[in-house]
Structure formats: C-alpha cells, structure tokens
Amino acid sequence: MSKRKLGLALSLVLAAGTILGACGADKGKEKGTPSTSGKDKAAFSVAMVTDIGGVDDKSFNQSAWAGVEKYGKKNNLEKADGGYDYLESVGEADYNPNLNKLVRRDFDLVFGIGHMMESSVKEVAEQKPDTKFAIVDAVVESPNVASIMFKEQEGSFLAGVAAARMTKSNKIGFVGGMTLPVIERFEAGFIAGVAAVNPDIKVDIQYTEAFNKAELGKAAANRMYSSGVDIIFHAAGGTGNGVFSEAKERKKADPNAYVWVIGVDSDQYAEGKIDNNNITMTSMLKRVDIAVENVSDLANDDKFPGGKTTTYGIAEDGIALADSHGVIPDDILAEIDDYSKKIAAGEIVVPEFPAKKK
C-alpha cells in the first residue's frame, strides 16, 4: 500500500473514532441524572403512594392527594406521567411495588404516605439514589428522602378541650386505628386536653388495629355510645367512617340524641350530615396537604430538603381545629384559641405519649 493510501485509511479510522466518541458522549449526556438533566422546572413531576386507607378515605390520604393535586394544577401539569398521579395500596405488600412503579414512570418526587411505609421508602430510596422521595409521619435518614412529621398531640389537645367543655355525660371516647406512635400522639394530646378542663372526665380508649375497616369503627362507636359516651374523637382513617355511620344512625332514629363525632386530618363536616342535622362537632386538621405541597415546591425550586425532617405544629400552621359551624359556643372557642396561642408560644408543652405508655 502506498504512503498516500495508508494516510487516507488512517484518517478515515480517526474520523470514525471521533464520530463514535461524540455519539457515546451525547448518549451519556442525554441519559443524565436528576441534578444535571436540565429538565424544565415547570415539568417537575410528583406522585404519591397511599397507605391501605385509600385515596378517598376522607382523611389522611385524601389530604395528601389534595396537596399533590394543588401542586400539579398550579404548575399546569396533567394527571399522568410527567405530571402528577397516585397509586393506591390495598395491603402492605403493595408498598414496594407501587413505589417502584412510580420510579419507573420517571416521576421526579415520590411520596410515601403514612408511618407504615417507613421501611418500604427506606429500602426503595437506597436502591434508587437518583430519585427524590418524601415520607409523611416517619423519619428516613437518607440524603434523597425528605421526612415530614406533625405534632398531632397539639391539635388533639384542642379537640380534648372542646370535648370536655361540650360533653353532658362526662364520658368521652377515642377510637384509634393501628397502635402506632403517630396515633398515640393523637390519644395523648386528647387525654391531656380533656384533663386540662376536667380531670374527672372518663375517656374510653379503643384501638381497632385497622385504618380501612369502617365496620370496626362502627362497632367501637356503638359500644361507646351505648355506654353513655356522647362525643367520640377518631384517629382511624377510613375506619373512622364507621364512627360517623353509627352516630348518624342514632341521630336519624332520634333527632334529639346528643351524639357527636370529632373528625380528623381533614374537615369532616360533610361526613356528619344527616337530614337537617349534622353530628360533626369539629375536626382536628392535620394539614398534610400543605406539607406535601410545600415539599413539592421546594423540590421544584432545587431546594429539596433531602436528609432533613420538617415538623409541622400549631406554630407552623400545620395543625388546627376546623370550623364548628356554630356548634361550639363563642366562649368555648375563645378558650380553645387561648390554649392554641399558649401551645404555639411554648407555654404549654403537650405530651406525645399517653402516661401509661411512657
């Protein structure tokens, strides 16, 4: 081969190598990572996995979904891949698969809703370090996980004050879902609020060990109302819907019956409507919607609080009581407001766990 032909052949080989190298570099750049892909902020996608209560539990999960929806709509996103969405969990076995499905669908931020999802979020987050996760009601110490907690005991204290002032029988009930630290905070705060008004009032406590069985909530409420309890505060997710059912049945049978329910997480006033009456006294608002929306906004602004725990209480406007729609008199509302201000200022520190469980 002549020197001229040899030179030409070498030039072609070098040129081909340069082209292949450039293609490889472009391919790697195209794949990118969440922090370097240059994705449009307006298209930052968010999705969530519910716990077993379901997205329409009229309580915890529904509040979380409201936050995701609000984030999506204000950013002009659609309920679809690349926008916002949710997956429901029927049982605990669904947690890991659902989280992984949303990761495969390339959502930028994936929420696990509820304490029961702690181990699943931890496991999937470790396997998918390039995806951002957030968990509500648990702490997962991982750089790609934001943990969201609430001071449920503070709002429950206010609910306890309301119940103690409004009871006629001096018998009040609490129906909890599963025996978990988060539900024990509800119980502890409620008991403390009742005791602050009248330590002689009896508080009947029952855990159903389920968040999605309304029949268990109904049975617990039936027993309590039959024993003389006139106000029940529930922290049981979908199971709490049964408490409302029992109270409404009694009110329908006897319009003069003095039976009340204090709702939880969301304003459950609509759940208490029966004919021309309503058996919802008030609801303890746990603003999961605000927290979910806030964390989504932070992530969208490249300020994702990964590896950190953000806690919402009365002072952070994450906990409050809902409008009683005229049920609770103004003087009692003023007393409740005074307690609220003292809690926010740190003058009253509400216990996180019932005394017997410390």
Which residue from 323, 315, 307 is spatially nearest to 350, judged by alpha carbons? Answer: 315
The CA distance from 110 to 190, in Å, is 32
The CA distance from 155 to 158, in Å, is 5
Q: Which CATH entry fits the domain spanning 152-286+328-357: 3.40.50.720, 3.20.20.70, 2.40.420.20, 3.40.50.2300? A: 3.40.50.2300
Helix (H) or strand (E) holding 146: strand 145-150
The CA distance from 159 to 41, in Å, is 40
At 59 the pLDDT is 84
Cα of first residue to Cα of last residue in the chain, in angstroms, is: 90
The domain limits of the chain are 41-150+289-312, 152-286+328-357
* 319-321/171-176 β-pairing: unpaired
Burial (CB count within 10 angstroms: exposed 0-12, middle 13-18, buried 19+), residue 294 = buried
And the tokens for 327? 């049920």
**Would you say 301 and 42 are in contact if contact means Cβ atoms under 8 Å apart?**
no
Helix (H) or strand (E) holding 298: helix 288-300
CATH topology of 41-150+289-312 equal to that of 152-286+328-357? yes
The CA distance from 65 to 174, in Å, is 26
And the tokens for 159? 């609910």
- Cα torsion 165, 168, 170, 174 to 10°: value is -80
Helix (H) or strand (E) holding 336: helix 330-344
And the tokens for 313? 């209480």
At 339 the pLDDT is 98
Architecture of domain 41-150+289-312: 3-Layer(aba) Sandwich (3.40)
| Main-chain dihedrals φ then ψ at residue 132, nearest 5 degrees | -90, 135
The DSSP call for residue 272 is: G
At 292 the pLDDT is 97
Q: Please give the angle made by the CA atoms of 313, 314 and 316, to the nearest 5 degrees.
A: 65
And the tokens for 335? 């007393």
Residues of the chain with confidence (pLDDT) below 50: 1-41, 358
And the tokens for 70? 């609000």
